[in-house]
Structure 1
Amino acid sequence: MSSDDETQSSATESNPFAQLAPAPQHLRDVAAGTLRRARSSFGDLERELSTSPEGEEMARIRELVPAPANGEDSDLVTKQLDELWARVSGRNAYEQLLSLFIVNGIVRDALVGFGELGEPPVDLGDELDWAPWHDAIIETLKALFERDIHVDDRLAMWGRRIAGDAVVWARQLAGIEPGKSADSLVEGAEAGAEKFAGVLLANHSRRMNALKLAA
């Protein structure tokens, strides 16, 4: 056994959940698919909000979202992202804008987290530097809350609802179906899966706090 194999074996023994991490290329493909969908969603929101102060902001934010180099998603990535957005798509433009911030934030954290489970950790590249457009969403939503003092409470409820769905989806990305334990796939993996989900939810709380919304 090579030293690299010994290191990988030691890592998966200390954290069996690491054995369930998707392959690095699949993580990159999900990131690219997420960016494509985000760009499309901001285009839709620009049209939907064209008569509101947020309309022009949608065009600006869309330009901050990197355009992936590869042109289309695989069938698997399409299926996985379809399943996610069937659960978390907003019922109106402002819920969708919050979803693009909250859900894609959880997606990004999950992809980075899975990459970090590798030994050595997997570098997923610059395509996961989503801070510029996430920060722009924060600015836009804060301006909305100042203009409409009632919308923040409604969006806080929406944010709490979709976070759980997004974390369940992140577990599915590792092959853990809803209602199932990771231990059914790899003995001892559930403890790591719960810790992983806890990190995703802690980061979600920080995002909600950035908007002064109750997590």
Structure 2
Amino acid sequence: MTAIKDIMHTSPVIPVMVINRLEHAVPLAHALVEGGLKVLEITLRTPVALEAIKRIKAEVPDAIVGAGTVINQETLKQAVDAGSEFLVSPGVTDNLIDAALKSGVPILPGVISPSEVMRLLEKGISEMKFFPAEAAGGIPMLKSIGGPLPQVTFCPTGGVSPKNAAEYLALKNVACVGGSWMAPADLVDAEDWTEITRRAKEASALSA
């Protein structure tokens, strides 16, 4: 199992994918991987998300496929059973984190405060998702947290866009960012895989 730290350093941007139609899963994954974004987060917000993870795992061998919106032990088990190579949660609870550590599948848990960061450090976790990034104070907040807690590395997600992604990636305590601008719903619905690949190439050229 690849460590979450290595996954975070694979690509500067992790696409956050909402898949509404199962037939879009594989071509969308191919388009993003072709553009240089190998780490894919499939959010568990749609009925087809788990099957989408299975299909991408089977048919897009270069992709590192993870599950997002993992919020409790039930969704964690479903994500692991589907073959997720990593897990992403919007927040933290002791039950969720303990179950994730027990599963052996790396998790990127969401935090917005120093207290949450310290709780995770006590459990041996030093890689975290900063979510919702812009709403929670954005770049100034990450700089402030980095002062007393320099051992933590973040993936800011939520409000990150082409306009501010490079600024986030320039921070010492940021390894990558998460976002959906490479594959917005209108492009996916239109099956415009060429434009999605073009956006992915632009995103993969950003440097952390």
Which has a greater percent of helix? 1
Q: TM-score, normalised by structure 1?
A: 0.26
Which of the two has higher C-alpha Rg?
1
Q: TM-score, normalised by structure 2?
A: 0.27
Structure having greater relative contact order (Cα 8 Å, sep ≥ 6): 1
